[in-house]
Chain A
Amino acid sequence: MKIIIVGCGKIGKTILASLVREKHDVLAIDINPAVVSEITNAYDVMGICGNGTEYEKLKEAGAAKADLFIAATSSDELNMLSCFAAKRMGAKYTVARIRNTGNNDNVSLDFMKNQLELSMSINPEMLTARAIYNVIKLPSAAKVEEFSSHRFEMIELILREDSPLDGVSLIELRRQSRENFLICTVRRGDEVYIPQGNFRLKSGDRVGVIISGRDTQKVLKTLGIAHKQIRNALIMGAGNVSYYLARMLLDNHIEVKIIEKDPDKCAEFLEQVPGVTVICGNGMDQDLLREEGLSSADAFVALTGHDEENILISFYAMSQKTNKVITKINAEELSAIAEKLGLESIVSPKKLIADTLVRYARALRNSEGSKVETLYSLMNGDVEALEFNVLQDFEYLNIPLKDINFRKDVLLAGIVRGRVSIIPSGADVIKAGDKAIVIAAGERIYDLADIVSKDR
């Protein structure tokens, strides 16, 4: 697919890298010549230096023939304008990054999207806030991802030292409990497994579990994982993510306390989000944190603009026995290190954005076949969880799963049929109209048909 990306800052570059990995023809436009030469050296893309709203540049880039046009500069106006121009020139789908809070309430966003004929708008801060909110709702999980149908959740858990699951094999676990769940990925050290029935869990494992939505609490209980509802949260930094997160938390009756250095930002935040407590002070100041009750906070969220600050202060919070610590880290390298050092819940805006666009591009690529509804990259991108709409033309409809020769590195983890969610066993079948959730390592999956082994 021919994809044009305007603006190659942090977000733009992440999108670019993941789309190149998906083997799309990518062309990047950026105003900074140094950035253009850097990306053309590092990735197999073509670069154009210039302003992405100019007709001449868009023509040079071939916007008229682009399948997907993504504007991801730091300016909303620029993004909207260049998407509008590209659409008028003939680009098939346009995606704009729109992040100003003023543009992001439902009414104005819908208006703009309609008027500009945007196919999608992306807001990294909103996505980040949503991801953090999901974890806060379910604090015993390191990470929670939802599938579009809301029937299933994918939860990442870390098995602690004293976990009752230490040494238990998956078959035994299945026998013990009657709940609807499936362990579908395990990471141990640097290795990622899609485990078979005889796989034995060990403490320290990072386990990905698919759970049918309503059973979540029950399943966590059977897995012996303590669960405490979060009633208040301490957030460091008053940026856009904090804004969206605070609104979501307040709507769900969770108390929010914000610590921010800049007095102007404090005032602005109070104005925008009534009902929060805003403390004006340096979040890196440990005295201040203790004074503001860090140890009694149910959740601590580090959301400053600096990865290093976020990491350090999160470690401090963990040392103070804060129940749940969530850290925002932008740089991929840093998040890998931080996770190794022991941070549990790390949220990366860049990765969320990349996932969103990769899913979007994949769904566009095979608009005829079974559509990708949801896509998450798990375990640092080694494994993907995908949700497909099953269409009439799927070759293996109504065949018992045990008779289908699945690819070795693929797991059919869940089927949603109407209002019922099924964790499939060998006797189950896939029907047209279902939604199928697939976990896949190794080669990428573009169509539901890809899950079946090619060699017989």
Chain B
Amino acid sequence: MNYKMIFYTVGQVLLLEGAMLALPVIVALIYAEWSVALSLSETAAVALGTGLLLILCLKRRNPAIYAKEGLIIVSFAWIAVSLVGALPFVISGEIPSYVDALFETVSGFTTTGASIVTAVESMSRGLLFWRSFTHWIGGMGVLVFVMAIASRTPDRSINILRAEMPGPIVDKLVPRSKDTAKILYIIYVSLTGLLIILLLCGGMPLFDSVIHAMGTAGTGGFGVKADSITGYNSYLQWVIAVFMLLFGVNFNLYYLLLIRKFRAVLRSRELWSYLSTFAASVILVSYSVYPLYENFSDVARVSFFNVSSVMTTTGYVVENFTAWNAPLAKAVFVALMFIGSCAGSTAGGFKVTRLVILFKKAGNELRRVLHPRTATIVKFEGKKVGEETLGSVSVYLALYVISFTVIVLLLSFERSFSFEANFTAAASCFNNIGPMFDNVAGGGTFANYSVFSKLVLAFAMLLGRLELYPLLLTVNPYTWLKK
């Protein structure tokens, strides 16, 4: 295990976080929130100091990173940014408990959007901005950002890209990892910018636009109001709904659009599966909620928005659908929570990609029952999926189910919550969606959970965002045994 390189990279990430904190500081200064600005700057100092210390101490190092180092780097880096990122909430006193603040920050970076804040409207602008900014950075990935701006990328840096980017198959867009990271961020920034402009056109205030654009881009879900998006006009709701859907698409496809390979985009099996799942869900939900509204345009808007929000694991809400008397719609939402969006997007969940591969594999196995000697391969996006990938996708499913079960079990120690509440809370955090679906007392937040459960849920969010392996490897004692 190359400890020096691991901690060196963590140092780089902390340095980046310190630099990032400058933005919320500026926001706090603009809104004259002096004490908040101070708490943010203190955190920035901590991040920069620790980062610099690590980097300077580890100047002489062997730059080789193998797969295991890639995974460990990613999980350490994410834990480190969360630990530091929670500080401003505590220092400013807006979230007095450190565990609560940590929950909020992890929820931010993992683009979950689960919150323990019951009165969002009373939070300071600076911290609201920081909270949503963590979504934006976490969406595309902290280390991907480091790679895009670092002067020198280590050998075998693909191992870091692989560990941080969601999906079973991670391909580079261009030969060099650094350029790939750059292109991804350029697409990400431009789409976010476009969204901000469209929201401004709809009459949303600048601050709200930026916050919601970052929440949408990272498919996070933090907002500025307790009732999420419900209070905004229907144009704004449509814009956000469509952009959530866009950010759930594999970013590689945008690159293909940029280099004018339109046919490749149209032929993408992943995209079609994603869109058809989406369309079917919208129809089912519309059918289910039609009796409640009896107005076609409202039904269309509400269904489209909420399906888009749950499927892309964003977690914005219009009309509190948990209070609906529509069991079919709820069942669809629970199913969508687990399916998630495309690989290579900012969304969470199991990923359509894996599901498509598993379905094809299952079809092959069924055919093998009929014709025991039949030869089978699984093709995806026009290419044969290797046995290795097939195996890893199946194992991922098993680990995914086991992890989820354990999380639900651990949450069930809570006496004051129903099983449904715990189940959806676990699903919501594990798949990085966010809101609590069955907790009217807590106003849709996680504030009433015990410290233990909050830590379990925070771990679940990281587990879901980093797709199991990095964290599982980190907590596995065999990783650290010298044998």
A residues contacting B by CB (< 8 A) are: 2, 25-27, 33, 40-46
Contact = CB atoms under 8 A, between A and B. Distances in A.
Q: Which 10 A-B pairs have the closest CB atoms?
A: A25-B175, A46-B175, A45-B175, A27-B175, A44-B176, A46-B172, A26-B175, A44-B177, A25-B176, A42-B156
B386 A40 contact: no
Given A25-B174, A44-B177, A33 B386 contact: yes
A41 B159 contact: yes
B158 interface: yes
A332 to B, nearest CB: 15
Contacts of B177: 44
B155 interface: yes
B92 interface: no
Greatest chain A CB density within 10 A among B157, B158, B175 is at: B175
Given A25-B176, A25-B179, A27-B175, A44 B159 contact: no
A33 B157 CA distance: 20
Nearest to B66: A41
A44 B175 CA distance: 7
B277 interface: no
B153 interface: yes
Contacts of B386: 33
A420 to B, nearest CB: 43
A41 B158 contact: yes
Nearest to A25: B175
25 contacts: A25-B174, A25-B176, A25-B179, A27-B175, A33-B386, A40-B158, A40-B172, A41-B67, A41-B156, A41-B158, A41-B159, A42-B155, A42-B156, A43-B155, A43-B156, A44-B153, A44-B155, A44-B156, A44-B158, A44-B175, A45-B175, A45-B176, A46-B172, A46-B174, A46-B175
Nearest to B162: A41
Nearest to B64: A42
Contacts of A27: 175
Interface of B: 67, 153, 155-159, 172, 174-179, 386
A336 to B, nearest CB: 17
Nearest to A33: B386
Given A25-B179, A33-B386, A44 B174 contact: no
A26 B174 CA distance: 9
Given A42-B156, A43-B156, A46-B174, 6 more contacts: A25-B174, A25-B175, A25-B179, A33-B386, A40-B158, A44-B158
Contacts of A44: 153, 155-158, 175-178
A40 B157 CA distance: 10
A2 B174 CA distance: 10
A277 to B, nearest CB: 48
Contacts of A41: 67, 156, 158-159
A350 B155 CA distance: 21
A410 B159 CA distance: 36
Nearest to A24: B175
A43 B67 CA distance: 13
A107 B375 CA distance: 51
Contacts of A25: 174-176, 179
A70 to B, nearest CB: 14
A150 to B, nearest CB: 38
Contacts of B179: 25
A355 B156 CA distance: 23
Contacts of B153: 44
A42 B386 CA distance: 19
Contacts of B158: 40-41, 44
Contacts of A40: 158, 172
Nearest to B67: A41
B268 to A, nearest CB: 15
A140 to B, nearest CB: 38
Contacts of B156: 41-44
A33 B178 CA distance: 24
A186 to B, nearest CB: 24
A45 B171 CA distance: 11
Specify which of B155, B157, B176 lies most central, judged by the most chain A CB atoms within 10 Å of its CB.
B176
A2 B386 CA distance: 28
Contacts of A2: 175
B155 to A, nearest CB: 7
Contacts of B175: 2, 25-27, 44-46
Nearest to A4: B175
Contacts of A42: 155-156
A2 B153 CA distance: 18
A40 B171 CA distance: 10
Nearest to B383: A49
A33 B385 CA distance: 11
A2 B179 CA distance: 13
Nearest to A23: B176
A106 B190 CA distance: 56
B327 to A, nearest CB: 47
Contacts of A45: 175-176
Contacts of B174: 25, 46
B174 to A, nearest CB: 7
Nearest to A45: B175
A25 B177 CA distance: 10
Max chain B CB contacts within 10 Å: which of A26, A27, A44, A45?
A44
Contacts of A43: 155-156
A453 B383 CA distance: 51
A103 B157 CA distance: 41
A27 B174 CA distance: 8
A43 B175 CA distance: 10
A2 B159 CA distance: 23
B169 to A, nearest CB: 11
A426 to B, nearest CB: 36
A42 B155 CA distance: 7
Nearest to B261: A60
Nearest to A28: B175
B381 to A, nearest CB: 13
B137 to A, nearest CB: 23
